[in-house]
Amino acid sequence: MIERKSNLILKNGWIYTVDKNRTWAQAVVIAGDQIVFVGSNEGVESYLGSETVVIDLVGKMVLPGFVDAHAHPSHAMDFVGNISLYLLDSLEKYEKAIAEFVESHPDDEFYRGGGWADTLFPNLGPAKEILDAIIPDRPIAIVSYDGHSMWVNSVTLERAQITKDTPDPDGGRIERDPETGQPSGTLRETAFKLLEGVIPDHSMEERKKALIAYQEMANRAGITMSHDAMLDAQAIAAFNALAEEDQLNMRFRGSIALKPDQGIKQQIETVLEERSKNTHPYFQTRAAKIFVDGVVEGGTAYLLEPYEHKPEFRGEPIWDPEILKDACVALDGENIQIHFHVIGDAAARITLDALESAYKTNVNRDSRHLITHLQLVEPEDIERFKQLGVIAVPQPFWFKIDDYYSELALPYLGKERAAKQYPMQSFIDAGVIIASASDFPVTIPFDPLIAIQIGTTRLGIVETTEEVLYPEERASLEDLITSFTYNGAYANFLENETGSIEVGKQADIIVLDQNLFEIPGNEIAKTKVLLTLVDGVEVFRASDFNGLYQ
């Protein structure tokens, strides 16, 4: 007779497995790092042993661990140990936070930070004079919350030799005073590269500290896998160092950022080399990242029709469409998954055109290319996602009427386009696989339960308005959960290992304090994660969960 042993039994709960049939169970048994039983309370009896830990869930809910299909954990250093403007909502608070940081770090030779919002600085972005008044003698650079704009002072501009005569780089823009033509203090997109050598890179220890801080936040939010969607050599080195030190306790997958002004052949060689080297179970890189356009608030999204406030301007793609096609054909030919940043509807179209070229050129393969953000997409292009096997990666956190909508979307896009931002149900109706994401640190907090509530209601979690953003695009609770679990695993080629609670899969499991299917939709975000397991190992446990252990 085979002796069954288990380390952990969870019983007497509402276990939503997210398998193909969306089955419910009462109990799950974990042995080592794998799930060995899913079923009834009675079925666990044969797995009990002298060292088995039993948790009586007392009706609590169990889900597969959440997967964040597009985030930037390696950018956590923008607010860990640097100037953090995240969650602040006024210029006065920005000035206070910056001044306090400078005062507490008087000997720093330069300053970095992140988190300012374009809603406070429409059109040209924040001015250098604001920073000059606080720190006039040393360089400072603060990236916007969305990562697409940089706020600098006069010293930074001088040391970077950015003047009124400096041309805008391809795919970027230097904001300028409309009267003098002088740089005003905000750099967009690829104009960041003009600062190279002026603001030193983060140290390895800073990067590792920030990644650990992100990991702890993810553990608490029930996230067991995260895809870092913009890796560079320094970020990869930090992840590998933590992996070698056995400090990673969740799965990280990543995309290596490509640039249009560097040879695609050489960049493909880099992606392939890194893919072969980064093989740790908790850190691997198999994808390439391409920014097709920028963002609406920076006027850098690529649109089919002109901006509302600039009737003759549609934005420009960061990648020339023909170069993009060649790159996609080459990447796909090497079986490299491509992760695209796309905001505008024109950017979506040229991306799908490029993928269609790859689809026709190369042998049909399971590429699972992804397009993320998708603020504006034409209905006919949504159908093409399904035809080309492209995964949609939206951020349901953003599906609401808020300050961004009123201060930027409406004046930049006009009422008709602003009202039809961020489709989701249309993708589901078309049979497109959706893997949801946060885009952290653009989104803070990045708790998937917040996104699940907003995705099902199309309202903010603090309802400041009764107006619903694109109500026809509300998705079901089942589909939102699937998008943050099984589909996220699928997007990372890990659906056979994780993403659902099934026998033989890794024990990436979370426990919630209430059943999401039994509460009003506007209370989902109040749900608490009580326990997070990765490979059967506890990485987070709420303090009030102790009493349920037997």
Could you tell me if residue 48 is inside a domain? Answer: yes
% of the chain beyond a pLDDT of 70: 98
Asked whether residue 464 carries a pLDDT value surpassing 90, the answer given is no
Domain identity same for 371 and 449: yes
pLDDT at residue 2, rounded to an integer = 44
Q: Residue 508 in contact with residue 533, Cβ under 8 Å?
A: yes
Could you tell me if residue 2 is inside a domain? Answer: no
Domain identity same for 159 and 227: no
Domain identity same for 153 and 286: no
CATH of the domain at 519: 2.30.40.10
Could you tell me if residue 303 is inside a domain? Answer: yes
Q: Residue 381 in contact with residue 349, Cβ under 8 Å?
A: yes
Could you tell me if residue 68 is inside a domain? Answer: no
Domain identity same for 350 and 243: yes
Domain identity same for 316 and 396: yes
Domain identity same for 291 and 326: yes
Summarised one tens digit per residue, pLDDT across range 303-359 is 999 999 999 999 999 999 999 999 999 999 999 999 999 999 999 999 999 999 999
User: 156, 173, 195: which is the final residue of a domain?
Assistant: 195
Say if strands 140-144 and 14-16 run parallel, antiparallel, or are unpaired.
Answer: unpaired
pLDDT at residue 4, rounded to an integer = 56
Helix and strand totals (H; E) in the chain: 16, 24
In the chain, how many domains are there? 3
Asked whether residue 122 carries a pLDDT value surpassing 90, the answer given is no
pLDDT at residue 181, rounded to an integer = 94
Domain identity same for 230 and 255: yes
CATH of the domain at 115: 3.10.310.70
Q: If pLDDT is split at 50, 70 and 90, which confidence band does 78 have?
A: confident
- The domain in which residue 442 lies consists of 204-491
Domain identity same for 250 and 165: no
Q: If pLDDT is split at 50, 70 and 90, which confidence band does 550 have?
A: low
pLDDT at residue 146, rounded to an integer = 84
Could you tell me if residue 116 is inside a domain? Answer: yes
pLDDT at residue 377, rounded to an integer = 99
Closest among 549, 528, 529, 531 to 540, alpha carbons compared: 531
Could you tell me if residue 101 is inside a domain? Answer: no
Could you tell me if residue 78 is inside a domain? Answer: no
Summarised one tens digit per residue, pLDDT across range 484-533 is 999 999 999 999 999 999 999 999 999 999 999 999 999 999 999 999 99
String of DSSP letters for 60-127: -EEEEPEEEEEE-GGGGGGTSSSEE-TT--SHHHHHHHHHHHHHH-TT-S-EEEEEE-GGGSTTT-S-
Domain identity same for 279 and 412: yes
Could you tell me if residue 69 is inside a domain? Answer: no
Domain identity same for 449 and 425: yes
CATH of the domain at 465: 3.20.20.140
Q: For residues 304 and 294, what is the distance between their CA atoms, to the nearest angstrom?
A: 14
- The residue with tokens 């992840």 is 239
Domain identity same for 399 and 517: no
Angle of helix 233-244 relative to helix 204-220, nearest 10 degrees? 70
pTM for this structure?
0.92
Asked whether the bond before 379 is cis by omega within 30 degrees of 0, the reply is: no
